[in-house]
A and B are shown apart, each in its own frame.
Chain A
Amino acid sequence: MSTVDVKVDIAHVTKQFDAENPEQGLALADVSFGVRTNEFVAIVGRSGCGKSTMLNIIAGLLDPTEGEVLINGKPVKGPGLDRGMVFQHASLFPWLTAIENIEFGPRNLGVPKEKRRELAQGLIELVRLKGFEDKYPRELSGGMQQRVAIARAMAMDPEILLMDEPFGALDQLTREDMQHELLRIWESHKKTVLFVTHSIIESVYLSDRVLVFAPHPGSVRKEFSITLPRPRQKSSTEFMRYYEEIYEAIG
């Protein structure tokens, strides 16, 4: 892979959680890979393979025991405005309405009222939640909440979007809707995306590249480039072939 365009460089990252129990606590062992600008990379694997840990380290919410994560060449030292994150559930601020949630980041930066309201309104329309701006998270369905979560992360215009099984808590139909929505949004607002999921189909449907993580200890077992043009047919033979290969790689 060309070293010229590496947006996110994960370099020999190891994460040890429980020093007394070296075998149990080794979440990640010497993981290295790179992500290009505006590339959509999916990380798949069984539970416990360290994929969420990896994402949290890239986000800056956890520190690696060894190794480092470089973004645009500079090492990550904590959460930053260059990265936005969408969690699986319970991440919206329940005391704020949908639009206030979205405005939260800009408000914290001191963006004046009209500007941030305009920005937030635009994002509400982008995620197709017009009419629900003044609803509280409690009043929104799971899918709607995740749309707000995406809009909220996008409000900071991060270069990199990290998504930790964002559709995992949704029912199948809503999940498929959201996959379309995400692609639509991504295609109009290009960003580098790192997407963790345990659904192989989801990973093949959405991403340019799929990294298969293996557990004990967590590491990249195999890498797949998905070269199909989008939108992809989940029933096509090529799609199925990717599915089979990845399934086998997971083991």
Chain B
Amino acid sequence: MLRRRAHRYRDEVATRARQQAAVAELGQRALAGLELEELIEDAVQVVVRELGSDYVSVLELTGDGRGMHVRAGHGFPDGVLGGVLPATGEQLPGYALKSDGPVVIEDFASEARFGPSPLQHDLQIVSALAAPIGARGRRLGVLGVNSRTPHHYSRDDANFLQAIANVLGAASERARTDEVVRDSEARFRELADTTPALMWMTDSEGHVTFVNEGWLRFTGRTLEQELGATWAVGAHPDDLHDLLVHWRGASARRTEFRVEYRLLRHDGSERWVLAEGLPRYEDGEFVGYVGTATDIHERKLMEDALRESEASFRDLADTAPVMIWTTDERGLVTFVNEGWLRYTGTTLEEELGPSWSLGVHPEDAPGVISSWNEKLAARQPWELEYRLRSRSGDYRWIVDRGVPRYEAGRFSGYVGTAIDIHERKTVEARLREVYEREHTIAETLQRSLLPERLPRIDGLEIAARYLPAGRGAAVGGDWYDALERADGRIALVVGDVVGHGLRAAATMGQLRNAFRAYGLTEASPSQVMARVNRLVMSGEEEAMATVLYLVLDRETGEVTFASAGHPPPLVLTADGAHFLEGGRSVPVGAAEPGVFREATADLPPGASLLLYTDGLVERRDTPLEDRLDDLAEAAGQAEGGLEALCDSVLERVLGQRVPSDDVALLAVCPRAVASEAMRLSLPAEPESLSGLRRRLGRFLHAAGATEMEAYEITLTVCEAAGNAIEHAYGPGDASFEVEASFENGTLVAVVRDRGSWRERRGTHRGRGLQIIQGLMDDVEVSTESDGTVIRMRRRLAA
């Protein structure tokens, strides 16, 4: 009976492993960019292969949300594919669409929650299994399997189907997102490149990250030459110094600036331009400048000409393409040039005199008049952007500027120029719109990619927090994940994609999937990291991320981790908190081939692990080490369970501060080890030994054994276990058991296997026996009906 149960358990484990591998494989194909259509076909085949059902269907919610289109399937008669089923909740497909997870139907005859779909009814389906595709609130469809004969679908089968449905959901989401990303970026470029102004953008450090087509046409340089250093490189050598002083001063204060300088044109000539820069703030955080340069060469020439002679000025002014005006000392208009009249469609008579609000947009007029009067009274330069009615009747944005002029040392009025900045103003507004739109999409995407809830894992407590940066800030690419590997160990990931916005969020989704896929198949963290790195480096788009990938053996407390440029994990024990050092390498996406290191540490009994992204410890005003110290201190003071720990850490580290970057936090704690007795059943393979050592070590340590005793007992038990492993001669013997307990201060250890005791297999087995007998007080080997038992005793000193 026992043996049969063991067999069944083994079968289940094997099935589960195979199913997980199938999911991982499909995930990898999705990741490799397989067309959605092909991926769906693959998914159907995988489900047919693993669940062996009569019919498999992929139903897709129709655009109006009222029907479900049979998009793909297996086993159906002709004419079913392409058809549409109702999406009502009274039938299985509609019900599954709204459910949180997979729906299992033992028998439709006894199913009270809903009925079969018309298709299922026609095909006389008895048992079925259906899993919703797509995130909750944004369902895309349903993946279903159907059987004409009664069939029991297990919990594992249901989880498997849901996992396949999740891969399809993620792939469909990605297919949609890719379109949105392309769309949004194309819009931005188009917008920037069609504006007549010259444009540039910098990051917060002042490095140029973007210049538009107009700028490149003007300077005649390539994009590569323009990016990086500074936008001021093209300035006339005589102006460069003043320009840099001005720009650095403004950017240090992060204020708007406006400066005139000579920019060298592609043909070698110098043109006066007006450079304007606006700091881009995103919810209090400075993220760089967006700047424009407008050719004001003509205006400059006018001003120079005016300085020379009033008469030649008027001649020149009338032929100039800019709008020019003059006033007398009372501020009354005495002259406007042809350019002005052409622009406004007014006559000279209308414009002369106190005409300040003539043609000005009603909303802007009060501001124009009050600012003009103020400057006039003080005889200071005046400058304002406002809307002026043009000849066509439309209001257009202009920037109008007047400077006081003096004749023979006596104030004689103002001379002013105005230029049309309508295009630039409009582009600015639309750019802001694009930023906001991109932010919303990125945020949605990011939400959809984070696990809705963390998996429930036996023997492990787990809690997580995700704190988005302040509203309006660009979304970061942070994520966390936890999954249970086939070997029973837990893989934990926390990562942060370099950059913000849509692209970062999309990259995050891909990385998360990659870590899921490789995390299931690769045992070593450094290998997982190397494979993800290869994937990232082979991609077309540049992406970089800092990642902490950690594998935890919850039985033994052994953690193996690799940090790709990520801050170190924090261990919390009753004595306080400390960081796990080592295993550090460069970020993923930085170099290929990347060399990734890993490190191993033991988690003491009762200890918790805290993984986080650097938004938690990021502050410009304090060195990183101090911030890590603050985190350790805050975490060390926290009390209560993991949920309380997360809350407490966030509260103590961030306080009232809204983080300037996203913060992801993941806390786990393996359940405490019993100290009176332990019992383990392990696969009969050499790889089980390291886990056995850790587990025994923890047990003996908890029981008060000295380091020497713990080492000797562990070694002895492992030698006996090594014997059991070498005895295993078939799949039926694929496990061994270890028990350890105390009887009046004496340790009793029992190693039980299903093979027969063979002495001296090779010299080192002989030495193994020598060790067992030499280090234990008493050793007893007995052969029982189904195997061999080694019973060992050792009295502890304490």
Do A and B make up one complex? no
Give the A-binding residues of B (Cβ under 8 A): none
